[in-house]
Each structure stands twice: as structure tokens, then as C-alpha cells.
Amino acid sequence: MLRIEEINNKGIKKIVEWNEGKTTNYIRQWAGPVYSSPLTEKTINERIEKEGSKIQIFQIVDVENKEIIGTIELVLKDKEKGIGHIGRFLIGNEENRNKGFGQRVLKNIVQIGFDEYNLNQITLAVFDFNKNAISCYEKVGFKVTEYREKLFKREGNDVGSYIMTIKIEDYQ
């Protein structure tokens, strides 16, 4: 069983631990341009302080093992229009990936966005090469609504990103 809860100092330490020795390109894949290498607790805490109530950072807890396994953010982009954005979604250790955790977490965070934050739609961005993530998002009900070309180069290839959206009326 997984639980999503507001991040605490232990969760922030885990994010830093998962990213120790990782390149900025690795961090960019899950965090976009918000963080770079080396990622520090200070950097994360400064962002939390700067953004205030505009972002809600959650840690993902495996209740059975009493272990923090990931992180996900819900950004309140436009409260008046009820638009949120999911970002900085990471299942930290590779052994916890490809077990369906991402899909369960995503469903949970979408439900939180619609129920607790009164959002009408939620977006997310995903790099076009991240096929596993795209598949996960589609299974939850997200649909591609925009494509952004040539954001940067990765291994000699142009990288773009999809903007994917889920609306409350389409969510089951």
C-alpha cells in the first residue's frame, strides 16, 4: 500500500540521496529545469520557501516497508481557473520502478487535485523519449494536448516534450 503525504525533512534527504552523483541531464528528466546537479537539501528548501502555497510537494511512502520511495509535486498554476500541473515525479530507486507504483500514485494525486484543490484540469510535461512515463500517464487518462519541439539535444538527438492533460469530466 502506498501513501502520499506532505514532504518532510526525511523526504527531502531521500530526494538528495537518489540524485547523488547524477548528472544534470538525469535530474532534468524527472525535474525539468528546476533543479540541477549537484542537488542539495538547501536547493529544495529554498524552492519550497520561494514558491510557498503555489506548490505542494509530496513524498510517496510504501506503508508496508515504512520507506519513502518517491516524490511528486502538484503545482497550482491558476487557482481561479482550476488548473494544476504535476511535476517533479520520481520513483527514487530503480528496484521500485515498473511495479505499477507510478500509475497508482498518479491516480491518487489527480484525485487529490480534483477533490482537495478543486481543480478542473491537470497538466504535466513529459519528454518525448520517455515512453514508459507516457504509457503510464495515458493509462491514468491523460491525453496529449501539445508538443514542444527541440528543447535541447540528448545523445545527439533533438528532444521535445508532450504536454498531457486530464480534465475532471474525463476522469473516472
- Ranges of residues in the chain whose predicted pLDDT is under 50: none
pLDDT at residue number 25:
82
Residue 10: predicted pLDDT: 97
Three cell numbers, residue 139: 493509462
> What is residue 94's DSSP assignment?
G
Domains of the chain in start order, with CATH, are 2-124 (3.40.630.30)
- Sheet with 121-127: list strands edge to edge: 2-6, 55-62, 67-78, 83-91, 121-127, 157-167, 143-154
- Read off the pTM: 0.90
pLDDT value for 126: 92
- The SS3 of residue 17 is helix
Give the per-residue pLDDT at 152: 67
Residue 107: closest CA among 169, 38, 23, 172: 172
The pLDDT score that the predictor gives to residue 99 is 87
Name every residue whose Cβ is closer than 8 Å to that of residue 101 and which is 6 or more positions away in sequence: 2, 60, 69, 70, 91
28-64 pLDDT, tens per residue?
Answer: 888 888 898 999 999 999 999 999 889 999 999 999 9
